[in-house]
Amino acid sequence: MARVAVLLGGLSPERPVSLSSGRGCADALRRLGHEVIEIDPQDHGWIAELRDVRPNKVFNALHGEWGEDGRIQGVLDYLQLPYTHSGVLASALAMDKAKSKAVFAQAGLPLAAGKLMHRLDAARAHPMPAPYVVKPNAGGSSLGVFIVREGANRPPEQLLDPDWSYGESVLVEEFIGGKELTVAVMHGRGALAVTEIIPAGEWYDYDAKYSSGGSRHELPAQIPGDVARDLMRWAEDAHNALGCRGVTRTDFKYDPKTNKVIVIEVNTQPGMTPTSLAPEQAAHLGMSYDDLVAWILEDASWPR
């Protein structure tokens, strides 16, 4: 058995989600017989703590900025510690929505039309005909995301908030209606399944993702077989195009009326909370939560 440092919490707005994911993974690792040390990198002292612990492997359960954007991965590379999930480049590319879209375009994946803007420019006037979506260029968990509907008088006023904390660059994209779908990929094993996410509210926002009863999941998604096969293939293509490792989850929108599909983003460190989608898809295929955590840890390596 190994001594495993689990990184959880961190500095991003997704801290509560990371704490839930990390505690779940830490508990699973203990059940599997590993010695587990939980480390919350809220200040520079965590690096010294990590060095003192001298783990055999690091299980990265951080989400968002300073967790899955390549920065923490760079520290772990410098320390020459084997760690889970994707390495520096893949993490940084996936976190930057505009750059990952450029990679996806080269790979021939279906994408929404859009452009990168400063948030204040996007707030001055409609940057494209409504409906459209405004989202932080670097961020996750649907924080700071707004759907501008047809007939809206102006862009979201929240973009002008002096306390805005989601970065100065926003991606503005055409809004595609229809089904919210997601596919988890295990590196070297391929895509797992297609899940439809049916939010209780208007769309799949932060509360829908993480609140009890915020959404329900239909697994497998009730979509045509050829569409499901395309989604699984495209999820693998997106994973590979970015150079990802470990487990990823690719989100899609699918409009049954027009048969249009778009790739939304790749999550290089998908949630491992009680309501998370990747563990649910693994369970659908007969892999328990603990088995999935064990596989992620086994996949850890340095360099990534």
Instruction: Take residue 138 and report the two structure tokens written for it.
Output: 């670097």
**78 assigned to active site:** no
Out of 271, 280, 289, 299, the active site residue is: 271
- Measured CA to CA, the distance from residue 148 to residue 126 in angstroms comes to 9
**267 assigned to active site:** yes
**168 assigned to active site:** no
Out of 166, 206, 210, 289, the active site residue is: 210
The candidate with the shortest Cα–Cα distance to 203, out of 178, 172, 182, is 178
**299 assigned to active site:** no
Q: Angle, to 10 degrees, between the axis of helix 225-242 and the axis of helix 88-95?
A: 120
Out of 68, 265, 280, 299, the active site residue is: 265
Out of 20, 91, 215, 267, the active site residue is: 267
58 touches 4 (CB < 8 A): yes
CA 73 to chain centre: 16
Out of 14, 68, 96, 205, the active site residue is: 14
CA dihedral sign of residues 86, 90, 96, 100:
negative
Buried b (16+ CB within 10 A) or exposed e, 19-41: bbbbbbbbebbeebebebbbbbb
7 touches 42 (CB < 8 A): no
- Amino acid identity, residue 247? V
Burial class (CB in 10 A: 0-12, 13-18, 19+), 90: buried
Burial class (CB in 10 A: 0-12, 13-18, 19+), 56: middle
DSSP state of 138: B
Out of 86, 141, 215, 276, the active site residue is: 141
Out of 251, 276, 280, 304, the active site residue is: 251
Q: Give the angle subtended at the CA of 202 by the CAs of 253 and 64, to the nearest 5°.
A: 65
**286 assigned to active site:** no
Which residues partner with 59 through β-bridges? 6
**68 assigned to active site:** no
**114 assigned to active site:** no
**259 assigned to active site:** no
Q: Which residues are catalytic?
A: 14, 141, 210, 249, 251, 265, 267, 271
